[in-house]
Structure 1
Amino acid sequence: MDRLVFTSNATIKEQATARQVLVNDLANVSTVGFKSSYDVALQSVKVEGPGFDSRYQAQAVARDQIRLTPGPVMATGRPMDIALAEKSVLTVQAPNGDVAFTRRGDLRVNPQGQLENGSGHLVLGNGGPIAVPPGMQVSINPDGTIFARDPAQTGAAASVFIDQLRLRDASSVNLGRRQDGLFKVDGQTDGTDIALGGTVPKLIPQALEGSNVSAIEAMTRLIDQSRSFETQIRIIKEMKTLDESGASMMKPA
């Protein structure tokens, strides 16, 4: 009976890892450009203690590897909104100064005159953070080039080249999630850049990409995990009842 209780308890513990990943995905179902992670993976862990050396147990490990499946694209008409096409990612500056990546494209100019996204991460260009002259109207082309013009100028105002978004194609690399929620090259140290390949990354101007998390699928999986948890708790309670019944039979009459 103790072994059955141990097995049920281990099942609850291993499912908690998958539940954390699922709850995080569900909480970001409406976040712009959010990408879900792959489910937890199982690895064999040797059981220490008395017994045979061949005893191994399956243990769940959160991989947190990014799914770059595209989310729904919503046209906004806002000149500074962009949606990353296919498996392109936008290079931004992490809070600690590292180079990181994201799919969030709700761009804006902060009070310091620098371009940032809705999460407050500075957007990087060819020479570092992109600075926008004050009072200029910004437009972004599908190749990532940024132009600005003075709306107060009369007549046909010429657009001035500002910089180019540092876009990267992530179709040939695996991306992992950093502690701050941004993306990094999986298996590499934080701040590692993605090498340029043959595919030219593109974006969709005046549009935003929604989260690729399916709310219905996530809720269904969460309900399934809740029922599995209840089943394991019932097993533990039944074992407790059987153990108490066995103990009462051993009492002297």
Structure 2
Amino acid sequence: MLKSLNTAATGMAAQQTNMDVIANNIANVSTAGFKRSRAEFEDLMYQTQKEPGTASGLNAYSPNGVQVGLGVRTAGVQKDFAGGQAQITKNPLDLQIEGSGFFQVLTADGETAYTRDGAFKKDPNGRLVDKNGNTLQPEITVPANVSGIEVAPTGEVRVITGLNDVPQTIGQIDVVNFVNPAGLKAMGKNLFTQTPSSGQAIASRPGLNGTGYLAQGQLESSNVNIVDEMVNMITAQRAMETNSKVMQASDQMLQAINNLR
């Protein structure tokens, strides 16, 4: 009887984790470049009372055995890197990767990080930085006297200083990809860092080696589908309620046993 209490408790804990993941997805429905997560679960060890295939007589074997599961646990939280919808901003420094790949930025502590959020700005020195001041890599510095900036789909950055001037190339924006993007570590602030699970960063020009081209004047919206998340939330809520009913039923059965004379 006590096993059912503990088993139901693991189910409630798992659904709480599931609800936490869903809540984070819904909270970031308007976050540019955000990628939704999905909680994944696995069953715990089994208490084997009779092994499957155990001899039950002369030339006879138990077809199923007796194995009682002891609950569930969270096996992992999977990131879904499917592309989000394009959000047109007409800001020349807003960039979207139309396909696979990440922008590479250098954080204040000298660490290399990766992001899908292409909302870049100029710092006081004219360098392109993200909203937290992390410098885009390779570094791009925009002169102060430019009248227009153009980013080609292949990442080439050109500026115009006058209406009759020839556009000048000032740099190249590269993107990086990973063998296993789901293995990246989420650091918050729309940033990811490399891990042994993700593999090494592979830098290339946009459009090469399976990466997407760049689109200027637009951002990638979150890939969270609010309807799907609401359905998942209801499912998690009902699963939590069902596990609580199991605990109540187990408690009532223990109460009946305690009341025996």
When normalised by structure 2's length, the TM-score is: 0.77
1:206-230 deviation digits (Å, cap 9, x = unpaired): 1111111101101110111111111
Q: Verify the 8 A CA contact 2:8 2:243 in the aligned structure 1.
A: yes
Q: CA deviation at 1:43?
A: 7.0
1:143-167 deviation digits (Å, cap 9, x = unpaired): 11112233xx4x4133322211121
Q: Verify the 8 A CA contact 1:34 1:211 in the aligned structure 2.
A: yes
Amino acid at match of 1:248: N
Match in the other structure for 1:164: 172
1:234 aligns with 2:234: no
Q: Could you tell me which runs of 5 or more consecutive residues in structure 1 were left unpaired when the two chains were aligned.
A: none
1:134 aligns with 2:144: yes
Q: CA deviation at 1:204?
A: 1.3
Cα distance, 1:173–1:232 mapped onto 2, change above 3 Å: closer
Structure 1 vs Structure 2 CA RMSD: 3.0
Secondary structure in structure 1 of the residue aligned to 2:136 = strand
Q: CA deviation at 1:180?
A: 1.5
Match in the other structure for 1:187: 196
When normalised by structure 1's length, the TM-score is: 0.79
Q: CA deviation at 1:95?
A: 4.6
1:49-74 deviation digits (Å, cap 9, x = unpaired): xx99x99865322244x322111112
Cα distance, 1:194–1:20 mapped onto 2, change above 3 Å: farther
State which structure, 1 or 2, has the greater radius of gyration over its C-alpha atoms: 2
Amino acid at match of 1:193: A
Q: Verify the 8 A CA contact 2:5 2:250 in the aligned structure 1.
A: yes
Q: CA deviation at 1:141?
A: 1.3
Aligned identity (percent) is: 22
Match in the other structure for 1:35: 35
Higher share of residues assigned strand: 2
Secondary structure in structure 2 of the residue aligned to 1:39 = strand
Q: Using the alignment, how far apart are the partners of 1:20 and 1:187 within structure 2?
A: 26
1:107-150 deviation digits (Å, cap 9, x = unpaired): 1112343212235432111xxx3322235343211111112233
Secondary structure in structure 2 of the residue aligned to 1:40 = strand
Q: Could you tell me which runs of 5 or more consecutive residues in structure 2 were left unpaired when the two chains were aligned.
A: 51-66
Pairs aligned (count): 237
Q: CA deviation at 1:195?
A: 5.2
Q: CA deviation at 1:189?
A: 8.0
Match in the other structure for 2:16: 16
Q: Using the alignment, how far apart are the partners of 1:93 and 1:78 within structure 2?
A: 23
Q: Verify the 8 A CA contact 2:175 2:203 in the aligned structure 1.
A: no
Amino acid at match of 2:80: R
Q: Using the alignment, how far apart are the partners of 2:45 and 2:157 within structure 1?
A: 52
Q: Summarize the alignment of residues 75-224 of structure 1 with structure 2, pairs less than 5 Å apart.
A: 75-125=88-138, 129-136=139-146, 137-150=148-161, 153=162, 155-170=163-178, 172-181=179-188, 182-185=191-194, 187-188=196-197, 192-194=200-202, 196=204, 198-199=209-210, 201-224=212-235
